[in-house]
Chain A
Amino acid sequence: MHPVVKTVLERLGLGLATLFFVSIIIFSAIEMLPGDFGQAILGQAALPETVAAFRQELGLDKPAYIRYFDWALGAIQGDLGTSFSGRNASGADRSAEVVDKIAPRLWNTLFLASMAALIAVPLSLILGILTALYRNSFFDRSVNTATLTTISFPEFFVAYILILFFASLNQIFPSLANVDPDTNFGERIYRTALPAFTLTLVIVAHMMRMTRAAIINLLASPYIQMAKLSGASQTEIILKHALPNAWAPIATVIAFNLAYLVVGVVVVEVVFVYPGVGQLMVDAVRTRDIPVVQGCALIFAVTYILLNLIADIIGIVTNPRLLHPK
């Protein structure tokens, strides 16, 4: 087998294995709950029979590994179980399917994240390359100080400053990003502008710094000096000599930061009361609605693992040592 194919398959296998363990961890959330949680969720007034029925519904009478496979199989088919909320002591069950809660919000979150990524990725790559080229110039130093400052800001600080200036003092954008399925595309962009801008500011700083470091590292290679001494121009050095070797580090930087975006999105959604998965998850944590927490965590984890996997694979298929084995 070609080494590239072999390494990619290995990495895929590793990704699957990681996913398996991660899902076990998320699943065991329910195992680690204190024994009387049924009572806690249904309320003190719940009758013992109601609690027992609830426990049976969760399948707590079956062994853990069987429940794991039920849960995992369900998750693969898009069934994440039933929410704890909407139940009450009398045994009435108005609880919703977790999937129905997550699905519409997932689209919102993806929309917001993609919008931020579309601005942030090109911007930070360009800034990173420029600061690497003109390193230790005044431009580089100021950008360095500015980004160092920005990465130190909590997301909500950036968000509220933006709200103060662009929503409160000057009412250019709405401070609440309330969208629903009927909102049309243009309106949607307008309403998500501030959250997307907040996310962009936060990840550009990280991503730009990492790009800069990766490029400087690359430019220090002896073969770059060799290229200079063979008369190659700056542009040629960057495009022909540095870039073909830079895909792996750049892909890693992008993946890392898109993953960071996943986390940033949680806070930003809460600030702007944006109906996304992040906000749902925070609400579920507050009410200890475990199935919803599990569902959201699973989605975030899968995204995160997938992004890193893609970065790994880009690194593999652009590695000349693997592409052209001995």
Chain B
Amino acid sequence: MKNKKDNTTLLQIKDLKIEGFSDERWHKIIKGVNLELKRGEVLGLIGESGAGKSTLGLAAMGYTQPGCRITGGQINFDGVDLTKRTDSEKRKYWGNRMTYVAQSAAASFNPAHRLINQTTESTIRAGLKKQNEAFDEARALYDALNLPNPETIGERYPHQVSGGQLQRIMTAMAMSPNPDLIVFDEPTTALDVTTQVEVLAAMRDIVKTYGTAAIYITHDLSVVAQMADRIKVLRYGEEVEEAMTRKMLKSPKEDYTKSLWSVRSIQKPEKKSKDIILEVKNVDAFYGSFHVLKNINIKLPLGRTVALVGESGSGKSTVARVITGLLEPKIGSVKFKNRELPPSLKGRTKDQLQKIQMIYQMADVAMNPKQTVYDIISRPASFFASLTGANLRKRVVELLEQIDLDESFIDRYPSELSGGQKQRICIARALAANPEVVICDEVTSALDQIVQEGILTLLGRLQKDLNLSYIFITHDIATVKAISDEVVVMNEGEVVEQGLKSEIFSPPHPEYTELLLSSVPEMDPDWLTDLLKARNY
């Protein structure tokens, strides 16, 4: 295949406006965005939830999701205005000259068909290649994408291969018709960091080799920095700024752009402490016959933060379940202030329950939607401290002030709060019990960067004011750096290492820590290239 890269314009979007229908009304999703893409160029679209980046990405293909409509502007693809074409005319472009890579590969493959048939389906339909030829080509693509057993993997069904492999096969599917344009819609967001590296590398390589133009949509600036030549930042359906990748990273014009890596700007000096408030000792735990935790030992120093890091399935959240008594360990115990806690929740006294509180990842499901902020925060205060009437209300207002919210929030329902406000209410609820240890389970990972920063700052301040000790469970290394004093690295139910933050982040590392740390994308366009060189790919 010839490289298609030249300097002519492939796609030009002018003043595009899109509306979506919800709550019985039309809402503006895209409010007049311009976009230009040259042949062979990769454009990164970045923004937080609600920025309209996915809608814009799909619109680049002339596609709008059900419930959305284009209300103005043009989408010129290779000289043709797609907004004026019918679906059946656009179908000739889809799966042929333009293709799409979705976020969730597992859900986006049809469970009923073999992977190779799905990979080549649109190529064969468009009459670009005969079946044999298309199959051979697909196997070559599998090979180029570093998939294991490229000759036979296509014979499998979607549920028979892993998530990272599926995402690469979807890239092969997008490449199969040798399109002019690929839209990548958050293709690595659902993957663990160590898997993400391989997928990113494979995607970048193949796009470069064929000189395909691409739009790469993501919320993660460090990821897009590896992939894109140029980056466009979106917010609330409007463009914030656009620049070449290196320029954008070095000297962003807008404050908003800077806020996209705001968590990385928090620096917390680590502090040591000798007093241990909580200790997990020699714990082994099982789900049924599945051995989730293997000989876990963790110490939490008083007034400090221990970050528990690991990928999905590493057992980090299970540690929290053991500490709170939701899961009884088979062997080992949890000690609070040098006294062993009863293994099961039911055996613990009110006082023991009060001292350890938990904050969850999804504030949405951590609050009863039928209760007001007052109900939510006041319950632990009345339950543990037996406060009533005016005293209780005073306490709730005081707690709201501690989390930077005022009394006006007291009668709201969770659905009337923003994401960050919800998480703050959850923090207030934990504080209402007067705890000494707070377990934070991925409390910031569902939030936008700038909101994350606010929450992390708040947690830091509360720790200082109330002398709290945190166990902070997360998969995000930037968050670990921002909040922790000590770090525990977990993998497959085992502790890989535990130590002060400075020790963990400076070499030499155990093999897994090395892999994990090196896989975290950095705000450097050369990071992936350098990493691959270092790993001898």
Contact = CB atoms under 8 A, between A and B. Distances in A.
Q: Do chains A and B touch in the complex (CB under 8 A)?
A: yes
Interface of A: 221-223, 225-233, 236, 241, 244-245, 320-321, 324, 326
Given A320-B112, A324-B160, A326-B160, A229 B100 contact: yes
Given A221-B107, A222-B102, A245-B110, A231 B91 contact: yes
B112 A226 contact: no
A245 B94 contact: no
A232 B108 contact: no
Contacts of A230: 94-95, 99-100, 121-122, 173
Interface string B34-66: 000000000000000000000000100101010
A228 B122 CA distance: 10
B153 to A, nearest CB: 13
A222 B95 contact: no
Nearest to B96: A231
B126 interface: yes
Interface in B101-120: 102, 104, 107-113
A230 B96 CA distance: 7
B102 A326 contact: no
Contact of B108 (A226, A231, A321): A226
Contact of B122 (A223, A231, A241, A320): A231
Contacts of B113: 244
A215 B108 CA distance: 17
27 contacts: A222-B102, A222-B104, A222-B108, A223-B109, A225-B102, A226-B100, A228-B63, A229-B100, A230-B95, A230-B173, A231-B91, A231-B125, A232-B91, A232-B125, A233-B91, A236-B125, A241-B110, A245-B111, A245-B112, A320-B112, A320-B157, A320-B159, A321-B111, A321-B157, A321-B159, A324-B157, A324-B159
Contacts of B394: none
Interface in B131-173: 156-157, 159-160, 173
Which residue among A223, A228, A324, A326 has the maximum number of chain B CB atoms within 10 Å of its CB?
Answer: A223
A32 to B, nearest CB: 42
A229 B159 contact: no
Contacts of B88: 233
Contacts of B104: 222
A132 B465 CA distance: 59
Contacts of B92: 231
B181 to A, nearest CB: 12
Nearest to B88: A233
Given A222-B107, A229-B94, 10 more contacts: A225-B102, A226-B109, A230-B94, A230-B173, A231-B92, A232-B91, A244-B113, A245-B112, A320-B159, A326-B159
Contacts of A324: 156-157, 159-160
A21 B344 CA distance: 39
A232 B63 CA distance: 13
A58 B526 CA distance: 91
Contacts of B61: 229
Given A222-B102, A222-B104, A324-B157, A231 B112 contact: no
Instruction: Name, among A228, A229, A320, A324, the residue most crowded by chain B CB atoms within 10 Å (CB to CB).
Output: A229
B93 interface: yes
Interface in B338-397: none
B157 A229 contact: no
Given A226-B102, A320-B157, A231 B110 contact: no
A245 B63 CA distance: 25
Nearest to B58: A229
Contacts of B157: 320-321, 324
Contacts of A225: 65, 102, 108
A326 B109 CA distance: 16
A32 B504 CA distance: 75
A321 B92 CA distance: 32
B219 to A, nearest CB: 19
Contacts of A229: 58, 61, 63, 94-95, 99-100
Contact of B95 (A221, A223, A231, A241): A231
A240 to B, nearest CB: 8
Interface centre among A225, A226, A236 (most CB of B within 10 A): A226
A326 B162 CA distance: 11
Contacts of A321: 111, 157, 159
A86 B96 CA distance: 79
A222 B158 CA distance: 14
B96 to A, nearest CB: 6
The 8 closest A-B pairs by CB, nearest first: A230-B95, A231-B95, A244-B112, A231-B94, A230-B122, A222-B107, A229-B100, A226-B108
Contacts of B159: 320-321, 324, 326
A324 B155 CA distance: 11
Contact of B94 (A228, A236, A320): A228
Contacts of B100: 226, 229-230
Nearest to A221: B107
A234 to B, nearest CB: 9
Contacts of A241: 110, 112
A220 to B, nearest CB: 9
Contact of B110 (A223, A228, A233): A223
A227 B126 contact: no
Contacts of A231: 91-96, 122, 125-126
B177 to A, nearest CB: 9
A245 B112 CA distance: 7
B507 to A, nearest CB: 39
Nearest to B61: A229
A107 B91 CA distance: 53
A233 B86 CA distance: 12
Given A222-B102, A321-B159, A227 B111 contact: no
Contacts of A245: 110-112
A165 to B, nearest CB: 41
A276 to B, nearest CB: 41
B106 to A, nearest CB: 9
Contacts of B173: 230
A246 to B, nearest CB: 10
B257 to A, nearest CB: 30
Nearest to B99: A230
Nearest to A220: B66
A321 B122 CA distance: 24
Contacts of B121: 230, 232
A320 B117 CA distance: 15
Most buried by A among B61, B92, B110: B110
A223 to B, nearest CB: 5
Nearest to B183: A229
Nearest to A236: B125
A324 B156 CA distance: 8
Nearest to B161: A326
A13 to B, nearest CB: 23
A230 B125 CA distance: 10
A245 B91 CA distance: 23
